[in-house]
Structure 1
Amino acid sequence: QPVTEDKFLFLNESGSKGTPPALLPECFHNHGNYIVSLSNFVRWMGQQAEALGVEIFPGFPAAEVLYNEDGSVKGVATGNMGISKEGEPTENFQLGMELHAKYTIFAEGARGHLGKQIIAKYKLDAGKDPQSYGIGLKELWEIDPAKHKPGLVVHTAGWPLDPATYGGSFLYHMEDNKVAVGFVVGLDYTNPWLSPFEEFQRFKTHPEIRAYFEGGKRIGYGARAITAGGLLSLPKTVFPGGALVGCDAGYLNASRIKGSHAAIKTGMLAAEAAYDALQGGRQHDELTAYPAAFESSWLHKELLQAKNFKQWFKKGRTTATLMTGIEQWLLPKLGIRNPPWTLHREKPDHVYL
């Protein structure tokens, strides 16, 4: 479903104010984009990969990183299957497999458990800002056809979150009268009583939002941690024998609440670097061509423009809104894609609670 219209709303308890299209920052422009089901898209990509000879093991999570004697990554081991809740093998027990490779690419998503081990072992985050996270809650609704506007994209900020709490929402009008609605809350919030799930449910009662859902039904739901630290929190992404890609490294663009495009791009860059290395007879070394290619890519330029996005919200919503407008609306019109100032994050999320 092609995007047909973008809206950005600032919500208060009973009303809203829209941002004129001419003043909408670039990060909220979706012209030329498509609204798709990510699960359907990934399923299709899997079919294309298998047609090329790629083996996919659904249902077999990687449980352990394997290392060579020289400390380089050798591959991964999958978890044992058929274990009882007491930890004993059952009649369905199946021993995990060791998968060895000349290079192993880790693409587990945000806070991937093996990715975190890799970052710690090789100190890949040395000298970087602490990573910052959000919780993203999402529902899929089937709504009244009279209220459905195929291709409409709506983002909101403000109510029900207080001005000091980072967060916002999105509504994507998909095909077949379906709407995907999501709500993101930064995990650096300071109110110990705040419940992201309850705030999401409260958000849907706003007059501007509930109008879409009255008479409809929820047909799916889920939640996911997301990385929101951006370029300044990005660790070194290569190590002996492998690389980190996508949200396992933290490539999500928080200003757009989008990371799938970054995952695809970094996966391609890492694959190209690995291919060239294998063609050269190399193995288990660092794929330095991958981060070098990233730094000259359109993705690096995109993340550079958004490098301060989340940090501004620590100074309040009004300041953040103003500075996002300057960095992603005014400066690009002046030909400046990299803001001439940098805001660093010095504390991890959990210390704010």
Structure 2
Amino acid sequence: MSGSARETIEYDVVIAGAGPAGLSAAVRLKQLDSSLDVVVLEKGSEVGAHILSGAVLDPSGLEALIPDWKEKGAPLNVPVTSDKFYMLGEAGQIRVPGFPMPPLMNNHGNYIVSMANVCRWMAEQAEELGVEVFPGMACSELVYDENGGVKGVVAGEFGKEADGTPGPAYEPGMELHGKYVFLSEGVRGSLAKEVIAKYDLSKGKEPQKFGIGMKEIWEIDPDKHNEGEVTHTMGWPLGGNAGGGSFIYHLENNQVYVGFVVHLNYKNPHLFPYMEFQRFKHHPMVAELLEGGKRVAYGARAISEGGYQSMPKMVAPGVALLGCSVGMVNVPRIKGNHNAMLSGKAAAEAAFDAIKVERSGDELTAYEDDVRGGAIGKDLKKVRNVKPMWSKWGMLPSLALGGLDMWTNTLGFSLFGTMKHGKTDAAATEEASKHKVIDYPKPDGKLSFDRLTNVSFAMTNHEESQPSHLQLGDDKLPISVNLPKYGEPAQRYCPAGVYEVVEEDGSDPRFVINFQNCVHCKTCDIKDPSQNINWVTPQGGDGPNYPNM
């Protein structure tokens, strides 16, 4: 379907993605000039439906954007009351004292939140200011001008058949044009990926690094609940197989967030991140907390972990990358939402200044300068070596040296300079023959669950007649290369059971993609060792429906 058949609507700024970055940009634009036409397009069925984050929120970003957020009823209801950090062994744990930690690691003044609910509240603030917010509108394509700059997006295309041709109920969608387009799609966004490749925005940068974060919400025995308590762990069960760790956050209503992060630069393709998470819950300390409780939600999302040295150039003609489209997570703090909000604010201010003097479609270099030279750059520069240290030297040396480096960085210098990340996470995967198969206990259905049962708690849904949004560059490669060489790790790294190798008597193995299960985590796009899987957006409204992740 050619773009000429689509209706075109003109805006001052078009924003793809109603996460903390995109909504902050929308709010700030309207604060600066109420007459600006601003639209936010969200692929989830509602704002917040696709938002999954830990989350302990540093309120500094919200404070800068909406100083009277408390009076306006922002859902920051649970201040952190205690911080605990443990090293786990299989049968026990050692509490790590807080005093050696640099001050930036302290959670005093932060809040345990549902970022989905924070985004719902932010969308209300944006709409009150006159921003148009359209959920269920996936941005499936970029629109370029005659000079090769970005001038808009295609959104709201529905009704394609499985082969990609228009079906009987086909709707071509609309072209939404803006003087500037902001991409705030979150980690590994499909349009941001296209822009980064087209304009070579990662040239001279370290490769972006990622983790897979999996999270469950549990209702637990009130006698075990301690509202405001924050616990992090490292060590068992991952050991030396992969970097990562867990979080347990006690929010209100006797609920806890239980989450597990696995860094995606692991070597052993037999590793099964989801099953590592399930095994973790059987540790005596965790099992004691959860026993008698009830899991009420599940989800998963990739996390950008490359930090300061991996941030690509953030602007190209007509377009700016915001938040996790750039990668602004402070890895040791496990926080990025405050930086996402600050990036949205900075992008809005740069666009406002440009539009005010009747500029449009150029590069918003003031935005990039603000991010790299301002609060975000300072936040990330201090911790830039923690992730590469862990990758290079392992957990314990990186704890000691990373702590030292963070301390010296607070004084303005580093003994290590700026370390490199090296390989991409896909390239870090080694051949299956070099590694032992890992034996995972079967889930017991009480503390631990099989993937498909848990995925039902993500309430994900995709209309089955549409084309698969998980595209293979080469249909044969999963069986011809990935299976013999790597044991086809897609069967294991996907936290939603999307990928299967089906082996039936008398026939060759088949690679099956159950795209209906997808929770939009993007792990496959990142970790596939052959880089053969391309995640593109399905039709709007499809995917998970997270209640208060």
Task: Please indicate the TM-score interval, normalised by the length of the shorter structure.
Answer: over 0.9
State the distance in 1 between where 2:335 and 2:83 align.
Answer: 15
- Are 2:409 and 1:317 aligned? no
State the distance in 2 between where 1:102 and 1:316 align.
Answer: 47
User: Aligned match of 1:120 in 197, 214, 223?
Assistant: 197
User: Aligned match of 1:352 in 425, 428, 431?
Assistant: 428
| Percent identity for Structure 1 against Structure 2 | 48
Q: CA deviation at 1:218?
A: 0.5
In structure 1, the partner of 2:482 is none
- Are 2:140 and 1:74 aligned? no
The 3-state SS of whatever aligns with 2:426 is: helix
In structure 2, the partner of 1:264 is 341
- Are 2:115 and 1:33 aligned? no
State the distance in 2 between where 1:192 and 1:296 align.
Answer: 39
- Are 2:128 and 1:42 aligned? no
* Cα contact 1:304–1:337 (8 A) shared by 2: no
The 3-state SS of whatever aligns with 2:176 is: strand
Aligned residues: 351
Matches within 5 A, 1:115-264: 115-264=192-341
**Aligned residue type for 1:344:** K
- Identify which range, 8-17 or 88-97, moves more after superposition: 88-97
Matches within 5 A, 1:250-329: 250-314=327-391, 315-328=393-406
* Cα contact 2:183–2:322 (8 A) shared by 1: yes
State the distance in 2 between where 1:311 and 1:107 align.
Answer: 26
**Aligned residue type for 2:370:** A
Gaps of 5+ in 2: 1-77, 430-549
Q: CA deviation at 1:102?
A: 0.3
The 3-state SS of whatever aligns with 2:364 is: coil
State the distance in 1 between where 2:320 and 2:103 align.
Answer: 30
State the distance in 2 between where 1:246 and 1:130 align.
Answer: 17
* Cα contact 1:301–1:337 (8 A) shared by 2: no
In structure 2, the partner of 1:336 is 412
* TM-superposition CA deviations, 1:262-306 (whole Å, max 9, x none): 111101100110011101110000101111111332221110011
**Aligned residue type for 1:131:** Q
* Cα contact 2:154–2:174 (8 A) shared by 1: yes
- Are 2:138 and 1:61 aligned? yes
Q: CA deviation at 1:79?
A: 4.5
Q: CA deviation at 1:340?
A: 5.0
Residues 189 and 221 (structure 1), Cα distance of their counterparts in 2 relative to 1, 3 Å cut: same
* Cα contact 1:305–1:339 (8 A) shared by 2: no
The 3-state SS of whatever aligns with 1:150 is: coil
State the distance in 2 between where 1:84 and 1:332 align.
Answer: 55
State the distance in 2 between where 1:88 and 1:295 align.
Answer: 44
The 3-state SS of whatever aligns with 2:79 is: coil
**Aligned residue type for 1:138:** K
State the distance in 2 between where 1:290 and 1:16 align.
Answer: 45
State the distance in 1 between where 2:258 and 2:161 align.
Answer: 37
The 3-state SS of whatever aligns with 1:323 is: helix
